[in-house]
């Protein structure tokens, strides 16, 4: 009986101690809550969209879409967690270099943001949808401008 009570107490202490790390707000990757205050670095374009990182048409399409909505992407998180691994501060950062072409999460989120912008959604509405995982169902091969 003492053993069961001891294990139960240990379990409760573990749960209480880990609660401080389970805050869902901490789990949202980096993004900017407001439009950019100054010009953003450019999204790769033109001849930069060739070579080994751009062997599929959907990769080029994702970059062309990203280039049309830079301020929207600036306000979106990227759930590939490149904020931790690469120091990115938003989804826009992924498309300043070739990272976006190598990551299906980045491309899906950018295509989703472009499509939702075309429907009249605001950046905050798009962010909420990305946070819910709505961008995961984007068909990259079927995406078109």
- Cβ neighbours of residue 72 under 8 Å, at least 6 residues apart? 113, 114, 117, 123, 126
pLDDT band at 4 (very low <50, low <70, confident <90, very high): low
Convert the pLDDT of each residue in 82-122 to its tens digit: 878 898 899 999 999 999 999 999 999 999 999 999 999 99
Eight-class DSSP state of 103: -
Rounded to two decimals, the pTM is 0.81
Question: What does the CA dihedral 89, 43, 144, 129 come to, rounded to 10 degrees?
Answer: 10
User: What residues contact 76, with CB distance under 8 A and at least 6 apart?
Assistant: 31, 90, 91, 92, 109, 113, 123, 126, 127, 130
């Amino acid at each position: 009986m003492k053993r069961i009570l001891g294990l139960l107490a240990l379990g409760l202490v573990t749960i209480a101690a880990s609660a401080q790390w389970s805050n869902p707000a901490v789990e949202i990757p980096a993004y900017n809550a407001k439009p950019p205050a100054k010009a953003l670095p450019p999204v790769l374009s033109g001849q930069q969209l060739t070579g080994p990182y751009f062997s599929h048409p959907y990769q080029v399409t994702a970059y062309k879409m990203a280039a049309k909505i830079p301020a929207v992407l600036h306000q979106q998180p990227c759930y590939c967690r490149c904020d931790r691994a690469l120091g990115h501060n938003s989804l826009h950062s992924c498309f300043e270099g070739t990272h976006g072409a190598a990551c299906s999460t980045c491309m899906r989120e950018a295509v989703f943001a472009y499509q939702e912008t075309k429907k009249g959604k605001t950046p905050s509405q798009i962010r909420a949808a990305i946070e819910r995982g709505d961008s995961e169902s984007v068909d990259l091969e079927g995406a078109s401008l």
